[in-house]
Amino acid sequence: MAWFRRQPTPEAWLLLVVGLCILAAVVGDIVWMGSRPARAESAVASASDQDPSLTGELRLRHQDLFLSHSPIGGPCKGLGPQSDLLGGTPVVLKDEDGAVLATGALDVGKVVDGSTCAFSFVVPSVPKNVMYRVDVGDRSLGAFSYDELAGEDWRVTLPVG
């Protein structure tokens, strides 16, 4: 019956003590972090320090011949003189001197009704500036002040046609 006899293992005791110390450190950290007051004001401050994104919609009108036969919500694009307006067309935000501040792109157009094709777009990380000019493809489609865009929660609608 000698094979049932256990030999003392000091390494096992050492591992047990180290494991219990790590467990105590983790529990102590959780208790300490849980007892601290929430810092909501710092999260709000850091969120407001980020540059806003300009979101919008380009509404292309008078596409009667094509859109009258397309289902509402179906894909669409510009025709004739507006054939350059389609998904992926660059949306460029420029300052008053024409320097590029930020860029985005038109999403795939969707039929709104029998005569309107709407393209959504997002221009991320718009830096603060006095004036902004919005160019879509080769077209300048509007100029806005910082206060105008901030007042509209950084959302614009650009009509074409």
Burial (CB count within 10 angstroms: exposed 0-12, middle 13-18, buried 19+), residue 115: middle
User: Residue 159 CB: number of other CB atoms within 10 A?
Assistant: 12
Q: Which residues contact 94 (CB under 8 A, 6 or more apart)?
A: 100, 101, 132, 133, 135
pLDDT in tens, the chain (161 residues): 556 666 666 677 777 777 787 877 777 677 766 666 655 444 444 455 688 999 999 998 875 555 567 788 888 888 888 888 999 999 999 999 999 999 999 999 998 887 888 999 999 999 999 999 999 998 999 999 999 999 999 999 998 87
**Domain segments of the chain as ranges:** 9-38, 51-160
Model confidence, pTM: 0.66
Given a contact cutoff of 8 angstroms between Cβ atoms, the answer to whether 86 and 137 are in contact is no
